[in-house]
Structure 1
């Protein structure tokens, strides 16, 4: 029986294995394995911002700094470690009015600061967000649900991806009446980001708090493999 020179499985349409540039000269088979595991989040991280616009730069800075100080103070009273709070520097920009004729007119200043808070116990997330609202924070940029032992879950997802790649390779080789040889090449790129819950909401009015206790994270991984086919 004539040996197939190349047998390629492309599930997503694009593969990180550069077959055309680095294809081996011997008969081979290429697969992509996907793996995922689910995890219940037990911690979180959220980023909030306070923005104020006033006539003077000094007043805008004072308003923003007061909100940041009050928020950090309340979090500290609740037992949040200073190491879990990251506050950015003040960002101050002039605001102009641009008439149809004439030069731009300075109408005030806009000041803003961003804070990121690490929540060690997910049960406290809503409480900390309520504190942000009460202290004058007017924007929530992101809420990231996380698991404490991310490495463990990522390793589990990676093993599932390896199993998937091997299973596909065996199935394809059998289907085409070929005998699968050893692994010739493995391409793996660690996922650049973890599953997150992203939100951007206005906090001008108090809204009913959402519960995150029943949320589930899906952690994914993938691996690209080139197998030899026996002659």
Structure 2
């Protein structure tokens, strides 16, 4: 769902008057940003297992057993295997603490195996996290919300940016006592990928499991326009 509230637009103003005004008109350069808030419809959960052992093989075997349980828990939660991807796999030595007169030595090994799972059913997000922990996952690094398709929100942000650009151009023309000509240059300078805004997060629990707040995502588009200044 896209919220219809019109957010404030940022504006950049630049006036230029060429040395030979008879050959080329002056210019009014502006930038405007349009923003739209939308409710996320998917989440990415990064979780996994950290295990230790006296040898690298021992630590890896222990980790593999627990990770098999993690994958089974994701299966039971209805997460397709194509929506699960290994995002981090490390085998690192564990060193002894430094002691005066003694050299540090390897006392064991630590294995970290992390996967990123896509959850399309946000009503089941809390239950999925609970299932991961119950299965042996001892490292939940975070939950990121997103949109399956942000094209509608992005296009609405573009429309708002264009409206803000024109409104601001008219405001400056009136304030400066100038008359604007046509739009002679236009570009889009990108925007921001949807990210949750914690300050706007809705406090709601998806189910009786671990409460998770989805909040709102902000889709932002910035445009640049140059208007001719009539003599």
Alignment of 1:141-156 (within 5 A): 141-156=141-156
> Counterparts of 1:166 and 1:153 in 2: how far apart (Å)?
20
Change over 3 Å in CA distance of 1:87–1:197 after alignment to 2? farther
Report how far residue 195 of structure 1 moved.
1.3
C-alpha offsets along residues 90-125 of structure 1, whole Å, 9 cap, x if unaligned?
Answer: 310112123333422111111101110111111111
> Counterparts of 1:110 and 1:126 in 2: how far apart (Å)?
28
1:51·1:112 contact (CA, 8 Å) conserved in 2?
yes
2:49 aligned partner: 50
| 3-state SS, counterpart of residue 190 of structure 2 | coil
The runs of 5 or more residues in structure 2 that have no matched partner are 1-8, 19-24, 199-208
Report how far residue 192 of structure 1 moved.
4.9
C-alpha offsets along residues 64-93 of structure 1, whole Å, 9 cap, x if unaligned?
Answer: 212221111121123221111112463101
> Counterparts of 2:30 and 2:87 in 1: how far apart (Å)?
45
The two structures, once aligned, show a CA RMSD in angstroms of 2.5
Alignment of 1:71-82 (within 5 A): 71-82=70-81
> Counterparts of 1:102 and 1:93 in 2: how far apart (Å)?
21
> Counterparts of 1:101 and 1:223 in 2: how far apart (Å)?
64
2:196·2:216 contact (CA, 8 Å) conserved in 1?
no
Alignment of 1:189-200 (within 5 A): 189-196=189-196
| 3-state SS, counterpart of residue 110 of structure 1 | strand
Alignment of 1:64-143 (within 5 A): 64-88=63-87, 90-97=89-96, 98-143=98-143
> Counterparts of 1:146 and 1:86 in 2: how far apart (Å)?
17
Change over 3 Å in CA distance of 1:45–1:111 after alignment to 2? same
The runs of 5 or more residues in structure 1 that have no matched partner are 1-9, 199-207
> Counterparts of 1:148 and 1:88 in 2: how far apart (Å)?
20
Greater per-residue strand proportion = 2
Change over 3 Å in CA distance of 1:181–1:170 after alignment to 2? same
Change over 3 Å in CA distance of 1:166–1:224 after alignment to 2? same
2:213 aligned partner: 212
Report how far residue 225 of structure 1 moved.
1.9
- The normalised TM-score by structure 2 is 0.79
C-alpha offsets along residues 99-155 of structure 1, whole Å, 9 cap, x if unaligned?
Answer: 333422111111101110111111111111001111121222221122222121111
